Structure 1
Amino acid sequence: MEYTTGTPSWRLVMRRALRVLRPRRRGQRQGKWSIGVPLIALAAGLLFTTSATTADGTALRDDRRPQLAQLITDKRERLDERDKEAAELRARVDAESQRYAEVNQPVKEARQRADAMREQAGFTALGGPGLTVTLNDSSRRPTDTGPDAPQNDDLVVHQGDVQAVVNALWAGGAEAMSIMDVRVISTSAVRCVGNTLLLHGQVFSPPFTITAIGEPMAMRRALESSEGVQQFRAAVADFGLGYTETVERNVTVRAYDGSSDLRSAEVTE
């Protein structure tokens, strides 16, 4: 719909209103609509003029999804740049501390203690036999009707599903783990936003791949005994969700390269 400027619209409305309100000749009957029409015309003119002023030459119902997608892309690019800059700064700090440790004995001893714990903390790559678990959304759509028809929540992988697999793998003796090729450490938090996974500031879409280093059969038994994994497997049969386990003869879980700063911590009893 195209709007004209406010002044011509008002002039047209006023002319029509005055024409209707003009005294009629004797013998002519004035119906009820003769009074209502100018009021409706005045309201319509006011509405159109207000809309034209508000639009200011633009569409009032413009689709803002492209702008939102571009905003997300820009934010992600800025985050990647900052992650790269942070990694470079950490490398410089590590190089400087290593150089200083060559002439300072306390610093050298502190670095040796830290290096001994790097593997356990997840800051070194680890390879060996393991197990890969893949979770995926269903290809079905909630088009069926009835009490037993699947809902949207029935057809997607949830945070609890990913967390159940992660916990079962740790319980099965996993020595190292990665989700979507991102190393999982003690401070990692698995969160889902809609049907996307948020991990260490990165967003991933399904299928979600979880790889763990350890004895494959022990981890498979832990998965079979996990209540959360059992519930997801039941949903696989009912709603067509994706679940696969792949035994790895030799797989590498890369080192964690993000920030290790803690915001809060408590000493366990």
Structure 2
Amino acid sequence: MDSDAPDRAPRTGRQRARVVGVTVVCLLAGILFGTSAALARQDRDGSPTDLVELIQQRDQQVQELAEQADGIGDEVAALRAEWASSRTGRILQQTDELAAGVGLARVSGPAVSVTLDDAGYTLATIPEGYSVDDVVVHQQDLQGVINALWAGGAEAVMVMDQRIVSTSSVQCVGATLYLQGRVYSPPYTVTAVGDPEEMLAALDADPVVTTYRAWADAVGLVYAVEELGETELPAFAGTSRPQHARVIREG
């Protein structure tokens, strides 16, 4: 028994080495077979196996998405057309059309400007028999020009650099003009877009403007009218909401 022990130990080590080697080979073979099977499944699923196929696949996807986008665009256009024909759409369209008339949109067209200015006298040079009030532009003079232009069919009116709307108030404080929170000194310029011939005729026929022109000739006030041609007036920049209201009770 003891004499056989030295020979039996080396044989056991070799056997273990052979077992480990076989195990490693089996593992490698399993990995190889598993990888091959996975690649085979990808091929069966239609997944790209090289760069050319990948590019072709992505190009097909882009074409499909583009067709979907075109279809969605057609649906949006149809919905917009349906909305425009609806009651809400018609109301909003009418609102846009009225915006220019109420001063909330820019207006372009042939224009006329009227400039009013003081006579330029000092206290020492005022002609005898006249006072300071006789040689300066008053609120009613400026308002008369504005009203005459509206009467002449003006589509839009601007005083100095501000658009006039229904809530605008032209006020003269001393020798200055107070308009929509800003103060201006003469000369005052009124610009109106509309039919020049009709507006000029309305200015000539207005009694307030006629009186001012007579005073201008007598004491040297400035009254200058000019046709401007194509002109753009800006939209009203302030708020159009009324700030005050009064309840009127009937009966």
Distance (Å, rounded) in 1 between the aligned partners of 2:126 and 2:94:
62
Letter of the 1:246 partner, please give it.
E
Letter of the 1:264 partner, please give it.
A
Post-superposition shift, 1:115?
Answer: 2.6
1:135/1:266 Cα in 2 relative to 1: closer, same or farther (>3 Å)? farther
Cα pair 1:134 1:207 within 8 Å, conserved = yes
Post-superposition shift, 1:239?
Answer: 1.1
Structure with more relative contact order (C-alpha pairs < 8 Å, separation 6 or more): 2
Identical-pair percentage: 39
Letter of the 2:106 partner, please give it.
A
Structure 1 residues 82-108: Cα deviation after superposition (integer angstroms, max 9, x where no partner): xxxxxxxxxxxxxxxxxxxx9xx9987
Cα pair 1:140 1:239 within 8 Å, conserved = no
Distance (Å, rounded) in 2 between the aligned partners of 1:231 and 1:189:
22
1:114/1:139 Cα in 2 relative to 1: closer, same or farther (>3 Å)? same
Post-superposition shift, 1:139?
Answer: 1.4
Distance (Å, rounded) in 2 between the aligned partners of 1:145 and 1:160:
22
Aligned pair 1:202/2:189, yes or no? no
Give the SS at the match of 1:138: coil
Find the counterpart in structure 2 of residue 229 from structure 1.
209
Distance (Å, rounded) in 2 between the aligned partners of 1:106 and 1:264:
30
Aligned pair 1:130/2:107, yes or no? no
Task: Answer with 1 or 2: which has the greater Rg.
Answer: 2
1:145/1:205 Cα in 2 relative to 1: closer, same or farther (>3 Å)? closer
Structure 1 residues 184-212: Cα deviation after superposition (integer angstroms, max 9, x where no partner): 01111111101111111111110000000
Give the SS at the match of 1:223: helix
Aligned pair 1:140/2:125, yes or no? no
Distance (Å, rounded) in 2 between the aligned partners of 1:107 and 1:140:
59
Kindly report which structure 2 residues correspond to 1:55-134, keeping only aligned pairs within 5 A, or say none: 111-134=92-115
Distance (Å, rounded) in 1 between the aligned partners of 2:247 and 2:107:
28
Cα pair 2:114 2:189 within 8 Å, conserved = yes
Kindly report which structure 2 residues correspond to 1:257-268, keeping only aligned pairs within 5 A, or say none: 257-262=237-242, 263-264=244-245
Cα pair 2:126 2:132 within 8 Å, conserved = no
Letter of the 1:258 partner, please give it.
G
Aligned pair 1:215/2:195, yes or no? yes
Cα pair 2:111 2:195 within 8 Å, conserved = yes
Post-superposition shift, 1:150?
Answer: 1.7
Post-superposition shift, 1:119?
Answer: 1.6
Cα pair 1:121 1:185 within 8 Å, conserved = yes
Give the SS at the match of 2:101: helix
Give the SS at the match of 2:245: coil
Distance (Å, rounded) in 1 between the aligned partners of 2:140 and 2:220:
18
Structure 1 length as normaliser, TM-score? 0.56
Post-superposition shift, 1:116?
Answer: 3.3
Distance (Å, rounded) in 2 between the aligned partners of 1:217 and 1:111:
33
1:226/1:115 Cα in 2 relative to 1: closer, same or farther (>3 Å)? same
Post-superposition shift, 1:109?
Answer: 6.8
Cα pair 2:116 2:189 within 8 Å, conserved = yes
Find the counterpart in structure 1 of residue 60 from structure 2.
none
Post-superposition shift, 1:265?
Answer: 7.2
Give the SS at the match of 2:115: strand
Name stretches of at least 5 consecutive residues in structure 2 with no aligned partner: 1-82
Distance (Å, rounded) in 2 between the aligned partners of 1:144 and 1:114:
54
Find the counterpart in structure 1 of residue 59 from structure 2.
none
Structure 2 length as normaliser, TM-score? 0.59
Kindly report which structure 2 residues correspond to 1:182-201, keeping only aligned pairs within 5 A, or say none: 182-201=162-181
Cα pair 2:203 2:209 within 8 Å, conserved = yes
